[in-house]
Amino acid sequence: MAKQTYSISDLAQELDVTTRTIRFYEEQGMLTPQRRGQERIYSPKDRVALKLILRGKRLGLSLAECKTLIELYDPQTGNQKQLNIMLGMIAERRAQLEQQLLDIQQMQLELDTAEERCRTALAESASKTTAAE
């Protein structure tokens, strides 16, 4: 049985990305297709790597973090190390998001306070103008 391979357009269509995006990840050393003349031939491992990159991006991981995960991918020996490292990355990203959420909530409180002060100052200014007339 022939090994499954994919063209760049196959992967682009399946994963809803542009061929330019795929070539970018190739330039970054994250995908390593074989060449047949000018044609790129992607393996199942390249397909999994691309899926990992796209998932990592959705989770807010950097390209370096995605590259680390890809380098750890080894379907022959199992992927426990990869999964454990990914769990660590997820925990770190979650902590970053929780801090950002706290920062946003604090900023909202400061905006509420500033808005209230502005409204109070405007109301006082309007009542002084009315009283002077």
Q: Is 38 helix (H, G, I), strand (E, B) or coil?
A: coil
CA distance 128 to 123: 9
CA distances from 64 to 2, 12, 34, 50 (A): 33, 22, 23, 14
Provide the β-strand partners of residue 41.
34
* Cα 99–chain centre separation: 17
* Average pLDDT of span 93-120: 97
Average per-residue pLDDT in the chain? 90
Domain extent for 100: 79-133
Q: Is the pLDDT of residue 80 over 90?
A: no
Measured CA to CA, the distance from residue 14 to residue 4 in angstroms comes to 14
Say if residue 36 is in the same domain as residue 56: yes
Amino acid 84 reads N
pLDDT at residue number 1 = 45
| Domains of the chain: total | 2
Higher-scoring residue by pLDDT: 110, 133: 110
- Same domain membership, residue 118 and residue 87: yes
Position 50 confidence tier, pLDDT thresholds 50, 70, 90: very high
pLDDT of residue 119: 96
Q: Does residue 67 register a pLDDT over 60? A: yes
φ/ψ region of 78 (left if φ > 0, alpha if ψ in -120 to 50, else beta) reads left
Rounded to the nearest 5°, which phi and psi values hold at 35? -115, 140
The residues, ordered by sequence, that sit 6+ positions from 79 with a Cβ below 8 Å of its Cβ are: 72, 73
**pLDDT > 70: what percent of the chain?**
95
Both 39 and 101 in a single domain? Answer: no
The reported pTM is 0.71
Residues 41, 11 share a domain: yes
- Give the mean pLDDT of 37-62: 92
Residue-level pLDDT at 3:
65
Instruction: Tell me: do 4 and 60 sit in the same domain.
Output: yes
| Whether the Cβ atoms of residue 83 and residue 64 lie closer than 8 Å to each other | no
